[in-house]
Chains A and B, each alone.
Chain A
Amino acid sequence: MSNALWLAVLASALGTYLIRVLPLLWMRRRLRRLDGNDNVDAMPQWLGILGPLMIAALFGVSLVPRDPSATTWLATAIGIAITLLVWYRKRSLGWPVAAGVAAYGVIIVLVGM
């Protein structure tokens, strides 16, 4: 890899890190300045709303199969239903995900046979 290409890698790495860390430093300074007892209330309301919505957006994006077809959409629907069902019963993180992946895999295998 040429020196110029290495510089591009380093610039991308540094830029990505700064995108992740600078808002933290800004927010910490804001929290210190407000010096409130309740840190959550010190967060701008729009930021507090964007957090859960970003997770919802990540969910929506990841929900679309990489190779959309009737099979993958069916497997996705059943996988999501099973994940939801197991989450409702267990209220945990690992089991619903494992059950969802297993259900997704079973549908892919069964329909593909």
Chain B
Amino acid sequence: MTTRPHALSTSPWLAGMREAIPLLGGYIPVAISFGLIAIQAGFTAWEATLISVLVYAGASQFLFIGMVATGSPLWLVVAMTLLINVRHLVYAPNLAPWLTASRHWPWLMHGLTDQIFALAHSRLPQLPEHQRLGWYTGAALLAWASWIAGTVLGAVAGDWLMTQWPLLGEVMPFALPALFLVLVVPRFTSRRWTLALSLTIAMAMACTLAGLTNLGIPLSALCGALCFYLVKFDTRPTGGSHE
């Protein structure tokens, strides 16, 4: 994919927010479910909301309240929560080459979720330096706000929402695979990348079907990387910025 900067015609904040809108289709229904489940597990609406504000990591939040509800030792709850989030370790270094010298970046890493990483990894290289901070802030804040708002909604009116619009909760989460597809397709730049990416996708699907969703993400990416290193084609690549 191209890395030539292309200036935004609108405010970078607004552009970031606009480009993060597809994320909401995935965030809000899941956050509503989290709010609802947290209430059912004995947390108050305030507590559920604060967990979403502070932890802000989907799968690990579900695990947290689930383990607390079943009476697991708290040290184990914290350890498992962090273990699920270990995959985030590789996100920030991948963005670092495109981050400016601003001191705000470390604080903004609180918003570096899977989806924001995927979006930023594709978009930051395409933006001129002076617009990157604004773009990222807009995108990350909208996603964070939607996650918090969804949690509040789920905690306060989750039951009612789920019975009124069950179809919405079923259809909107498809925005996530659709978004990831749009972000990953431009990476199919050579036979070598195509093989590594295809293997990663197939492995991730297999892991999810086997019930190993969170382990599946780093595991399949590592298998894809191994494939990338081991399998080399003689033909010249058609392009790409990582080869």
Contact = CB atoms under 8 A, between A and B. Distances in A.
Given A1-B47, A17-B110, A63 B201 contact: yes
B62 interface: no
A20 interface: yes
Contacts of B4: none
A94 to B, nearest CB: 6
Nearest to A60: B204
Interface residues of A, number: 66
A97 B38 CA distance: 30
Interface stretch (B112-120, B130-138, B148-156, B231-239): B112-120
Contact of B77 (A8, A28, A104, A105): A8
A44 to B, nearest CB: 8
A47 interface: yes
Contacts of B221: 50, 53-54, 56-57
B183 to A, nearest CB: 6
Nearest to B78: A11
Interface string B211-243: 001001110111011001100000000000110
Interface of B: 3, 18-19, 21-22, 25-26, 43-44, 47, 50-51, 54-57, 60, 64, 68, 74, 77-78, 81-82, 85-99, 105-106, 109-110, 112, 114-115, 117-118, 121-122, 167, 170-185, 187, 193, 196-197, 200-205, 207-209, 213, 216-218, 220-222, 224-225, 228-229, 241-242
Interface of A: 1, 4-5, 7-13, 15-17, 19-21, 23-28, 31, 39-40, 42-43, 46-64, 66, 68, 75-76, 79-80, 83-84, 87, 93-94, 96-98, 100-101, 104-105, 108-109
Given A24-B96, A50-B222, A64-B208, 16 more contacts: A10-B54, A20-B92, A23-B93, A40-B97, A50-B225, A53-B228, A56-B197, A58-B115, A58-B118, A58-B217, A60-B203, A61-B217, A62-B177, A76-B174, A79-B178, A94-B21
